[in-house]
Amino acid sequence: MTQLFVQKNLKYNSHEEFNEFIGPTAEIVKYLESLHNGIQSQILSRYAIGYILRGTKYIYDGDKRQTLARGDVFYLGLGHHYIENVPDGSQPYEEVLFYYTPEDLQRILMHLNITYGLNISNEHSCENCRNRTHVAMPAWNSLRNFFVNTNNYLRDEEFRHDETAENIKMTELIYLIASHEDCCIKSKLLSNVDAAKENFEQIVYDHIFKDISIEELARLTHRSLTSFKKEFRRHFQMPPHKWFIRQRLMHSRLLLISTSKSISEIGNECTFPNTSHFIKLFKKEYQMTPATYRHRHQNSQTDEVPAAAGEEAPVPEKAAESGAER
């Protein structure tokens, strides 16, 4: 099972192409603690799924303590966690952790759906896990074998520096959980998908009127430029450059009819590099200059806004009555 994504033809021409699709931010880490260090505070900025290889782990939630043992898989959400790792006698405590972001998860699930036709459902409803930032349960056979195999890989120096191998293991882990019957771990994992969409769109909307390059936006969303453009099209159905121009032009129309600001002031407020560029783009989109648009609106007796390019504009009542053309 652990060779699932190695043996199949992934339809990618290179390691770089696979990494670009899956994303570079997932990380696999093995922890060992030889000494009992008591309760420790951890602050996570990424989600984590882990597996206990040896020893005992306690996760604290207020005055309650959850006990995890060898063979248990666990999920940790973002934020503060109070944990205690206890070695097994003279043997150190050992665990393997996979860190990921909502964006990593979303890309991997999309890859599994496109490449393998994996359709995922999540009907799990459990008050116990819904309101907690951590859950744990005994790993099922295929998941247990996966983590044991991953632990063996981590002993290999080449694997620890192979981004493609790490991404393949992350994809396999998500597959094993997402394709399993409904359970707390699966429910918590899939609940992170919506966070990815909301975070991506929020970052985009926050920068509509800021002078920022597409490359910088891609970095803010933890994506390569190519991955960002693909993701953007899925959310907004058009390329980033075209979408940003359209949003800024739509805002400029509002300013033209609702303020007395000059054309240059409006162009500057809508983040166009200069007035002539603003006028050129406005005319291309609406078949008239900003000044003409403002003048026509001021002379009309309605609040109708001329239609955008490709749309049929409404005919003024007077023109309709007289049969005159616009």
pLDDT digits 0-9 by tens, 176-199: 999 888 888 998 888 877 666 667
Lowest mean pLDDT among 3-17, 75-89, 187-201: 3-17
- The helix, strand and coil proportions of the chain, stated in percent and rounded to the nearest 5, come to 50, 20, 30
Average pLDDT estimate for 72-85 = 90
pLDDT at 113: 80
Q: How far is CA 100 from the centre of its chain?
A: 10
In 3D space, the residue among 240, 192, 198 whose CA is nearest the CA of residue 218 turns out to be 240
**Of 14-28, 63-77, 168-182, minimum mean pLDDT range:** 14-28
Determine if the pTM surpasses 0.75. Answer: no
Mean pLDDT of the chain: 79
- pLDDT score recorded for residue 198: 60
Q: Which of residues 74 and 160 earns the better pLDDT score? A: 74
Question: What pLDDT is attached to residue 250?
Answer: 87
Rg from Cα positions in the chain: 27
pLDDT digits (tens, 9 = 90+) for 112-128: 887 777 777 777 777 77
Tokens at 219, concatenated: 């970095």
| Span 132-142, average pLDDT | 92
Question: Which structure tokens are listed for 2?
Answer: 């652990």
Domains of the chain in start order, with CATH, are 4-192 (2.60.120.280), 241-322 (1.10.10.60)
**Each residue's pLDDT tens digit, 220-236:** 887 888 889 998 998 88
Give pLDDT, residue 304: 45
Q: Name the residue with higher pLDDT: 44 or 196.
A: 44
The least confident of 115-119, 312-316, 319-323 is: 319-323
DSSP 264: H
